[in-house]
Amino acid sequence: MNAKTMLLTDPISGRSVNLPVRDSTIGPAAVDVSGLYKEFGLFTYDPGFVATASCSSSITYIDGEAGILRYRGYPIEDLAAKASFLEVCYLLLYGELPTETVLTKFERSITHHGLINEALKNFFNGFHHNAHPMAMLIGVVGSLSAFYHDTLDLSTPEQRELAAHRVIAKLPTIAAAAYKHTRGEPFIYPRYDMRYVENFLHMMFATPCEQYRVSRLAEKAMNLLFILHADHEQNASTSTVRLAASSGANPYACIAAGITSLWGKAHGGANEEVLNMLEHIGSVEHIETYINKAKDKDDPFRLMGFGHRVYKHYDPRAKILREVCHRVLNELADTNNPLFELALRLEEIALQDEYFVERKLYPNVDFYSGIIYRALGIPVSMFTAMFAIARSVGWMTHWLEMMEDPEQRIGRPRQVYLGHTLRTYQPIGKRQ
Ligand code: ACO
């Protein structure tokens, strides 16, 4: 029993109540307001969940003021520099870094779940050739539920684990197939002899006509990008997965819901928007116009890739990606990349502008990722699908954690009702 409490007094009745305070291992504690309605008949009001913890979690820690991000206690900088994406997947899912033997077994499981049912391939034929890859991803991932009826017993840990492995393994295959559909090219099957990221790039870019060798540079950069996007605690898409799952919905349907949320331009869809924005800006001389647009409250334009609900400091992922961007472009001998030059200058100007300084608006993870993806030959319409592949592990880890949480209940927020109080029904002939 937690001894810490916070005394709250209702100014109208003068009654007081001691609300329990839940400690965290690091970071802010939380006042447990779940008893407030019973005590006072009051709800709490927090649109956008700015100061609301929706659950307890042991997966990812963020200190937005200090620009810190850790998976299971490990700094993102260390993981980005030293780990493979599947190693990070294992860490997130199981809470510990794997030994070599354990990692090999895990890699084998993920690799062998990469294949999708042949019937699933037919779904793509129902999509128009210029359908957005994210639209196809939502539909096809949701339809996975229809293929695994026999292993959807959520009370069985083995079946839950199987679902997690399937989602992480099949997302790259489905995303690559969506891309191939837009190209009118045949799907390329996953290869059991390739590493996760290598396999994905092979499925994206190989054709049956000639041998395709995956570039090590692309594989390395993508591995790092996937690590940086793997989890980010209770962000919009992860919270969507949790809310969908809270009703007992199957994990494939919940992941489809998560992908839907990710697609929005305020969230994962921003990586595509950043590239479009940089292209619209076009050259350094136009930056000021766009900065002014972003500051103008009558203009809906926002500087894409800038700002974050949690980070009030440089997003640590963006810091890493800025360096990676330099490195990748250098290695590709693309040192005068005009979009990168533009992005650097835009960042410099924005970070000196009072509007951005006052509001603590810094580049976020999406600001530089698109430039790297583009340099590696990934089409802009696939950027958010890249994010979805990487985040699938975060979503599944949160889903697994939630399934074991004894406090988990159906998510059911309340509201402040502002509609009519009571009206009398009028027969149609008497209405004005
Ligand atoms: N450009 C211009 N002004 C901005 C921007 C921006 N990119 N972001 C925030 N602001 C301003 C707001 O207008 C607001 O100003 P005000 O106080 O004068 O009203 C203030 O900064 C606070 O912004 P909010 O919208 O209240 O912040 P919130 O936490 O709700 O939104 C968000 C965060 C959605 C990320 C926002 O910064 C944004 O729209 N950024 C651009 C889209 C983007 O890059 N999204 C990716 C986020 S990272 C991710 O999800 C992977």
Q: Is 181 a catalytic residue?
A: no
What's residue 3's pLDDT? 77
Task: Report the nearest-CA residue for atom 20 of ligand 1.
Answer: 359
The owner of tokens 């890739």 is 305
Atom of ligand 1 nearest to the CA of 305: 44
Are 40 and 13 within 8 A, CB to CB? yes
Dist. CA 61–CA 349, nearest whole Å: 30
- Give the confidence band of 335 by pLDDT, cuts at 50, 70, 90: confident
Cα of 423 vs centre of ligand 1, distance in Å, is 40
Q: Smallest Cα–Cα separation from 252: which of 169, 369, 364?
A: 169
Instruction: State CA 307 to chain mean position distance.
Output: 16
Are 161 and 94 within 8 A, CB to CB? no
What's residue 370's pLDDT? 92
Are 22 and 6 within 8 A, CB to CB? no
| 148 phi/psi in degrees, rounded to 5 | -130, 40
Which tokens hold the place of 205?
A: 């870019």
Atom of ligand 1 nearest to the CA of 50: 29
Are 303 and 278 within 8 A, CB to CB? no
Task: Report the nearest-CA residue for atom 49 of ligand 1.
Answer: 267
Question: Which of the listed residues 274, 297, 315, 359 should we mutate to test ligand 1's pocket, taking the one with most ligand atoms within 8 A of CB?
Answer: 359
Residue type, 165: H
375 lines ligand 1 (CB under 6 A): no
What's residue 12's pLDDT? 82
Cα of 305 vs centre of ligand 1, distance in Å, is 9
In the Cβ-directed half-sphere of 64, how many Cα atoms lie within 13 Å?
A: 15
Run of H or E residues at 71: strand 68-71
Dist. CA 196–CA 223, nearest whole Å: 9
Burial of 130 (0-12, 13-18, 19+ CB in 10 A): exposed
270 lines ligand 1 (CB under 6 A): yes
Question: Which of the listed residues 306, 312, 321, 356 should we mutate to test ligand 1's pocket, taking the one with most ligand atoms within 8 A of CB?
Answer: 306
Q: What is the mean pLDDT of the chain?
A: 96
Residue type, 179: Y
Dist. CA 278–CA 304, nearest whole Å: 9
Give the bridge partners for 210, in sequence order. 207
Instruction: State CA 325 to chain mean position distance.
Output: 21
Structure-derived torsion over alpha carbons of residues 347, 351, 353, 354, reported in degrees to the nearest 10: 150
Q: CA 22 → CA 5, 28, 40, 54, distances in Å?
A: 8, 9, 20, 12
Q: Smallest Cα–Cα separation from 308: which of 55, 67, 46?
A: 67
Question: Which of the listed residues 289, 308, 310, 369 should we mutate to test ligand 1's pocket, taking the one with most ligand atoms within 8 A of CB?
Answer: 308
363 lines ligand 1 (CB under 6 A): no
The owner of tokens 């494939």 is 252
What's residue 185's pLDDT? 96
pLDDT digits (tens, 9 = 90+) for 208-246: 999 999 999 999 999 999 999 999 999 999 999 999 999
- pTM for this entry: 0.96
Cα of 302 vs centre of ligand 1, distance in Å, is 7
Max Cα–Cα distance, the chain, nearest Å: 79
Dist. CA 110–CA 165, nearest whole Å: 6
The owner of tokens 């045949």 is 186
268 lines ligand 1 (CB under 6 A): yes
- Give the confidence band of 351 by pLDDT, cuts at 50, 70, 90: very high
Which residue out of 132, 315, 366, 398 is catalytically annotated? 366
Q: Is 308 a catalytic residue?
A: yes
What's residue 421's pLDDT? 98
Dist. CA 176–CA 222, nearest whole Å: 14
pLDDT digits (tens, 9 = 90+) for 269-299: 999 999 999 999 999 999 999 999 999 999 9
| Residue 336 reports pLDDT greater than 90 | no
Which residue out of 202, 232, 267, 308 is catalytically annotated? 308
Cα of 345 vs centre of ligand 1, distance in Å, is 20
Helices 133-143/157-183 angle, 10° precision: 150
Beta-sheet pairing, 60-63 with 74-75:
unpaired
Burial of 26 (0-12, 13-18, 19+ CB in 10 A): exposed
Q: Which residue has the higher pLDDT, 208 or 13?
A: 208
What's residue 132's pLDDT? 97
Q: Smallest Cα–Cα separation from 222: which of 348, 372, 59?
A: 372
Are 385 and 271 within 8 A, CB to CB? no
pLDDT digits (tens, 9 = 90+) for 75-126: 999 999 999 999 999 999 999 999 999 999 999 999 999 999 999 999 999 9
312 lines ligand 1 (CB under 6 A): no
What's residue 11's pLDDT? 83
What's residue 259's pLDDT? 98
pLDDT digits (tens, 9 = 90+) for 26-51: 999 999 999 999 988 999 999 999 99
Dist. CA 332–CA 346, nearest whole Å: 23
Atom of ligand 1 nearest to the CA of 48: 30
Q: Give residues with Cβ within 8 angstroms of 8, minimum separation 6.
A: 16, 17, 18, 19, 36
361 lines ligand 1 (CB under 6 A): yes
Q: Smallest Cα–Cα separation from 322: which of 367, 387, 269, 274?
A: 367
Structure-derived torsion over alpha carbons of residues 414, 419, 424, 425, reported in degrees to the nearest 10: -90
First to last CA, the chain: 60
Task: Report the nearest-CA residue for atom 14 of ligand 1.
Answer: 359
| Residue 1 reports pLDDT greater than 50 | no
Reduce the DSSP state of residue 99 to 3 states and report it.
Answer: coil
The owner of tokens 């109080």 is 421
What's residue 333's pLDDT? 85
